[in-house]
Every structure is written in C-alpha cells, then in structure tokens.
Chains A and B, each alone.
Chain A
Amino acid sequence: MALPQQKVDATEARLSSMSLPSSKGWLGKAREDALSRVRLMGLPSRRDEYWKYTRPDTLVQADAPKAALFNIGEAPVFSGIDRLHLIFVDGVFDPEASDDLELSGVSVELLSQVGDKDIHWATGLYGSLEQDGQSPVQRPLAALNSAYATEGVLIHVTGAAAKPINISYLQRDETSDACLHHVIKLDEGAKLTLLENGPAAARLNKVLEVDIADSAEFRHVRTQGRAHERRAATHIFGRLGERSVFKSFTLTANGVLTRNECVLELTGDSAVAHVAGACVGDGDFHHDDTVFITHDAVDCESRQVFKKVLRNGATGVFQGKILVNQVAQKTDGYQISQSLLLDGDSQFLAKPELEIYADDVVCSHGSTSGAIDEESLFYLKSRGVPHAQAMNLLVLAFLAEAVAEIDEEEIADEIIGRLTNWLERRMS
C-alpha cells in the first residue's frame, strides 16, 4: 500500500536533515536495510492508530526541541551499587568518566568502534530483532534508530556477569539529539543485570535489542531522569529462548514526552517475561508505555504491571497486548495497568488487548483509574500521620505492585528511595 504523500514528505524531510553514517563492515548493510524499512513504513504521524494517544510530531521533526538542563542536587541513582559503570554524555560515550570495559563473564564493546569490522557477533542481531518486531505493528522510529545510530554498546554475556552493568546517560547540552543502539546477547545459561539511568539528551531515540538464549536470565531496571523538558522514544526488542527469563522495570518521572515500547517474543518453551513500569507525573508530562508480547512457545509466562500516578495535567498512556499464537498452549498471561489520579486535571488512556489463538491458556487483563482512597487516608491521619506523609504512603503503596517486580532487593530499595524523594519534593 502506498504511503500517503504527507507521510512521505515528512519522512523525507527528516531523512534529508541527517546523513547515513558510513560503515565499511557488517554494520553498513544493517544500516541500509534499516533505512529502506524507514522509507517503506514512513515515520509515525498523528493519524496512525498506534499513535492515537501520543503525538509523535516532536519525536519525528528534524530538530530536537530545546530541553533545559535539570539538576536535582541528589546523588545519582544506583551510585551505591557495585557495578560496571558506563557513561554517555548527550548520547556520546565518555571513556574518561566510564569504567574500563572489563567484566568477568561479559565482553563489552562500543558500537562506535566495531562497525568497520568484517565480521562481528552482533551481525544478525543488530537491526534484526528490531526488524522482527516491525510486524504486526510498525515501529518506524526504531528502524530510524537502526539506520542512524553511531553510539551504543554491544554486550556479549557468556556466563554469569560478575556485577550489573550500569549505563548512565547525562545531558549537558540543551539541544542535544541522541541516538543510541545497544545489542545484548546472552549465551545459554548466562546472566546479566542492566541498569540504566538519566535523561540522555534533549531528545533521545534509543533501541535495546536483547537475545536471550536457553536458560539465560536478563534483568533490566531503568530510571529515565527527572529533567522536565526531555523527550524520549525508546524501544526494547527481546527474543526469549527456552526456560529463559526477561524482567524489565522502568521508573519514569517527569519528562515532557516519553514513549517506551517493549516488544518481546517468547520463542522457547517455559520462558518467563515480566515488564513493569511505575510512572509519576506532576505537571505537563506525558508517559506512554506500549508493550507487545508474543507467545510462540508452550508453557510460557508473561506479566505486564504498569502503575501511573498523575497530577496537575499529567497524561498516562498504556497500550499493552498479549498475542498468543496457536502453538503457545499452556500460556499464562497477565496484564494490569492502573492509574491513580490525584486531581481532575490528569488523565489515563489505556488500551489493553488480548489476542488468543490457542485453547489451553490462562490470560487476564485489567485496567483501572481511581483516586486516593479517603477511608485509608483518614485512617492514617487518625493515627497522627500528617496529610502529606499519609498521601505519600498511599502513593507508594499503589506503586508497590510494580516495584515488587524488581528481583534484587538492593536495586528495589534504590527505586523506592528515588520515589520517596520525588514524592517528598513534589507532593508536600
């Protein structure tokens, strides 16, 4: 089907403002393929069904809208955790500030340094999981990323990683437009925890492709930075082998526009995939979580748990889908999305979807929107807890089910600490 002319024009306008990075090696081909995908699909527009609740204009336009730097004067999240620390500033790797790329059980390389090689393990993964994730729903911003990204890390995990890898994204330039593409490959039985934090840039387009072999475990916890004016479109594409585990949790606070897509395919039997998110928005912020989980194997479990606390005009969006193909018998699928609206100015837009072709499955989904429970609030206050503190306790309690998706206690505590600080600053 031919694209509408308007879409072609908008796409070409964006592409003409960029130049395709040259890579002589394996990466060159991947980029060209990705670019042709972009041209075929066209970049998202407001008319697209998949962008019904979130306006893509500022993510698509040539220049990144300016975003003021934001300093909260707080130690960065995950500081207290023993980790391999990698730092990107406005989307560019900072070797001085980062740790050496050495970690037992893991090889870490930079996309900027290996693209010219003839052969690389990431061939066949880079842009490829993204490509698989373009059907049945198109995700053109991810293809755009595969074509143009020059920065990112390629992580090959061969055993149990000795400690988590933490990638921090700093923003120093009010107009920076970052494009980051990471590829992670976990061999059979390998284990890795990836931590990400920070605003990254005025505008961020990030893709994370994760290939999880049989019995491997990938855990992911990120915080997206409280910079008020930042924008981000992120995609995670994951492929899960037999008995493998994928668990991802995202804390989103503030940010004028955030669209997080997570696209997972469970291809091996008895795989487990959990995607969770806690969003807190107080002001003119827009958070969109779009999740698509495809069950292609027997006896797999998937869980989606999203909680959003909204106030002062904040908007929360959740589009979540569980697709259970005919082969995927004994699927256990669960999806919940809930919002806590702290005033009448905020809104939550949810589109939960189940599409099931197998007959022996247990799938449930639910979506709710509600206010603070007045009975609980009074009960707390009647015990002497001041109003603001009682509100914070109830907000944290509301978010608890999502935070509980984080397996490592130390990391969960970091997230709870951040949430508490945020609440104390914003709500009192």
Chain B
Amino acid sequence: MLEIKNLQVKLEEEDKQILKGVDLTVEPGTVHAIMGPNGSGKSTLSYVLSGRDGYEVTGGSASLEGEDVLELEPEERAAAGLFLAFQYPVEIPGVGNMTFLRTALNSQRKARGEDEMSATDFLKLVREKAKSLKIDADMLKRPVNVGFSGGEKKRNEVLQMALLEPKMCILDETDSGLDVDAMKLVSEGVNALRSEGRSFLVITHYQRLLDHIKPDVVHIMYDGRIIKSGGPELALEVENNGYADLLEEAV
C-alpha cells in the first residue's frame, strides 16, 4: 500500500534536516503505529506524505500503490486515497462544515471519474456517519472547526475520514485531547473502517489508543529515523519503560 524508502526531508527555509532516512512499508489491510519522542519527525513525515509546502525532499521515495506520491499535488494525493487526520485541525471561518465536506467528497469523486453525490444522498450519508461519532447537527452547520473543542476537532477529522473512505489513513495523534468516551467512539469509527483494502498509520504517544485500535506493527521513530519495529508488545514496552532503553539499544 504505502512504501517509504530512505526518505530524507529538510525544511525549505532553513538548513535543517528533519527526516534522515525513513524506511517503512505498510501492507494492505494492516495497521501500523508510530511512536516516538516529541520532535522526532512523526508529524513531518505525515505532512510530507500529504504534500504540505515548506519541506524539501532531499532523497528517497514514497509511493502509494506503486505511484510516486511525492510528485502529486495534495489534492491528487487525496483523490488517490491518501488521508491525513491532522494533529492540529485547521479552523476555517466562513466555510460551513457541510459545504466543506460535500465539496471534498464530490471533488474526489470527480477526480476519480465518478458522478457527484446528490444533495439528499449526501445529507443522509453525513447524518449517519455523524451520528455514530456523536457529532450533532449544530457542529455540522458551523464553520469548519471554528469554536470546536479539541476533542470535537478530532472527531470531525474522523468524520471526514469516514466520509471520504480513503485507502491509506494517517492519524496524527488523533487520540490526544480526547476524553475516555470520545476515544472509544473514535476507535470504533476507525475499526469500522478497517478492511482488506485499507491501511492505517497511527501516530500516538499512548498505548491506550492501541488497546482499542490493535496494531499489526509498531515502529519507534527517533531523530528522523525508524529505529526499531516490532509487534504490539513494543508499545507496551514504551508505556512501561519510556524511550531511554530503546534509544540506548539503537545507538
């Protein structure tokens, strides 16, 4: 599904190397988790994959189902099935959440040569998905993320994912800021999407999320590299002992 080879990335504006050779292969239908200390480059990896400005790829490659994603515009990556649930979802005053969701869905359908969804079908679909995430009608009417609480923003990200049905979902700390119940809702939302053709890359600091969304593989990122990969037990090790031992081991 997603194949990242020796990916090296620096900031465009500064001479600062952030990713120093990331190797990562996510098979179709699997859930991979990335953990790692603050500032190790997890968000940078997710931004670079989704095409945000401000980074320069200095080496390596990244492909989605064999297609070089780094060559594509952000909207083309989305249409190709890549989705990033932002660590910090953006507030857009003046753009209604419903307008946003419908524009996004129809843009992707159009890009894939499918018909646009009718207003009534869309409404039905959104209501159904929103209900399962306990997102009320008021949140759908408001401008995108404006005045949403931290947890509401994260649920709104998962709602977008549920609507757009991407193939490769990257969740950047979607669990942070969620209360216990919301974490359950969000996890259920994610688990409902798990399928043979869909993969997940879940960035998190906490084992707790991984109790709900069971990963197949756990990676530890440090200083712009994946320093260790393993099974779910790796997350438990981090939870219990922190990163110190792992870092030592890697050096």
A380–B100 touching, CB < 8 Å: yes
Annotate A386-398 by CB proximity to B: 1 below 8 A, 0 otherwise.
Answer: 1101100110111
Within 8 A of B (CB), among A388-419: 389-390, 393-394, 396-401
Q: How far is the CA of A312 from the CA of B90 in the complex (A)?
A: 28
Task: Give every chain A residue within 8 A of B95 (Cβ-Cβ).
Answer: 376, 380, 393-394, 396-397
Annotate B100-135 by CB proximity to A: 1 below 8 A, 0 otherwise.
Answer: 100111011001000000000000000000000000
B104–A385 touching, CB < 8 Å: yes
Q: How far is the CA of A375 from the CA of B144 in the complex (A)?
A: 13
A380-B100, A384-B78, A385-B75 known; A400+B94 contact, CB < 8 A: yes
State the Cβ distance, B80 to closest chain A Cβ, in Å.
9
A384–B99 touching, CB < 8 Å: no
Q: How far is the CA of A393 from the CA of B103 in the complex (A)?
A: 9
B187 in contact (CB, < 8 A): no
Task: Give every chain B residue within 8 A of A385 (Cβ-Cβ).
Answer: 75, 103-104, 107
B178 in contact (CB, < 8 A): no
A382 in contact (CB, < 8 A): yes
B148 in contact (CB, < 8 A): no
Q: How many residue pairs at the A-B interface have CB separations less than 8 Å?
A: 82
B199 in contact (CB, < 8 A): no
A383-B78, A384-B108 known; A397+B53 contact, CB < 8 A: no
B50 in contact (CB, < 8 A): yes
The count of residues in chain B whose C-beta lies closer than 8 Å to any C-beta of chain A is 31
A387-B73, A393-B103 known; A382+B94 contact, CB < 8 A: no
Closest to B94 in A: A397
The count of residues in chain A whose C-beta lies closer than 8 Å to any C-beta of chain B is 24
B94–A396 touching, CB < 8 Å: yes
Task: Give every chain A residue within 8 A of B74 (Cβ-Cβ).
Answer: 378, 381-382
A387-B73, A394-B95, A398-B94 known; A381+B53 contact, CB < 8 A: no
A386–B94 touching, CB < 8 Å: no
State the Cβ distance, A428 to closest chain B Cβ, in Å.
14
A374 in contact (CB, < 8 A): yes
Annotate A216-231 by CB proximity to B: 1 below 8 A, 0 otherwise.
Answer: 0000000000000000
A389-B107, A397-B92, A397-B94 known; A382+B100 contact, CB < 8 A: no
B79–A382 touching, CB < 8 Å: no
A378-B52, A389-B103, A393-B103 known; A383+B160 contact, CB < 8 A: yes
3 closest Cβ contacts across the A-B interface?
A397-B94, A384-B78, A383-B104
Known: A383-B78, A394-B94. 15 other contacts (CB 8 A): A378-B53, A379-B92, A380-B100, A381-B51, A381-B78, A383-B108, A383-B160, A383-B164, A384-B78, A385-B103, A386-B111, A387-B73, A393-B103, A396-B94, A397-B94
